[in-house]
Structure 1
Amino acid sequence: MTTQTERSLVLVKPDGFERGLTGEVLGRIETKGYVLVALDIFTPDRDRLAEHYAEHEGKPFYAPLVDFMSSGPVTAVVIEGQRCIEGFRALAGATDPTAALPGTIRGDLGRDWGQQVQANIVHGSDSPESAAREIGIWFPDL
């Protein structure tokens, strides 16, 4: 356990943006007490997504995931706070929105849409190393 201030990348994915859930997600982040350090809204290009998802290249879900993530606008956010990586991942809930607990973003707002990839509203960095790498991809000037 660390008491050091961390930063994490949070993405409101195209499904969350399209459904108008960005404000709800940001509200939950701020209610939790994390600080929004940077925010941008845009449709990511395939090069950025290839860099972000490089560890998944060659896996069966890679191409559909890149297609999904480039299908519309995302809200990219850098958050900051004590243990915010772990905290946001708990706030987001399980990757599978059907299995995500009530009270979490995915548990309250997500569901299985029967698509080739899991449209699960948000992404959050899973470690300090991933956060540093991902923030560099999405916010290179930060």
Structure 2
Amino acid sequence: MERALIILKPDAVQRGLVGPILSRIEQRGLKLQGLKLMQVTEALARIHYGEHEGKPFFQGLVEYITSAPVVVAVVVGKAGTVEMIRTMVGATNPAKAAPGTIRGDFGVEIGRNLIHASDSPESGERETSIFFDDAELIQQWDRATDAWIYE
């Protein structure tokens, strides 16, 4: 199974879009392995966005993700899950995101683009370990609908 970390950013939480966004992920057939509402600390934000440290927008990323609560989720599915989620999320700039994507339907500006999604299976594993302890994840569970989603 492949997993991805998604973060419903402060704008998604403040706008009441947690339910509609998570519904899209579940309706697609993907499974939640972990889910929590949290306040990201500056230290955690610096670890998460570490690859951008030194870039002009780094401090803005840290300030924004720590400005209000977020919802963090681990989503699992068969191979291709990360790519599927990235397609559902849409382009980073909501103004250029296709209609039908999360950012295309709900976003307007790049600085308020609602959601983070892992960009590779490796990032999914790394990011999951930043936000979740193993004890916070349901390692294996079967849904009644799985047989209707996967061959």
If the length of structure 2 is used for normalisation, what is the TM-score? 0.86
Identity of aligned residues (%): 46
Give the partner amino acid of 2:12.
G
Corresponding position of 1:41: 37
1:103 to 94, 100, 103: 100
CA distance in 2, matches of 1:122, 1:104: 11
1:91 to 88, 93, 105: 88
Give the partner amino acid of 1:70.
T
SS in structure 2 of the partner of residue 123 of structure 1: strand
Report whether the alignment pairs 1:122 with 2:112.
no
Pairwise mapping of residues 5-84 of structure 1 onto structure 2 (< 5 A)? 5-82=1-78, 83-84=80-81
Give the number of equivalent residue pairs: 134
Give the partner amino acid of 2:102.
I
Largest Rg, 1 or 2: 2
CA distance in 1, matches of 2:127, 2:105: 26
Runs of 4+ in 1 over 6 A off after TM superposition: none
Return 5+ residue gaps in structure 2 as ranges.
138-151
CA distance in 1, matches of 2:15, 2:115: 12
Greater fraction of residues in helix: 2
Q: CA RMSD in A?
A: 0.9
If the length of structure 1 is used for normalisation, what is the TM-score? 0.92
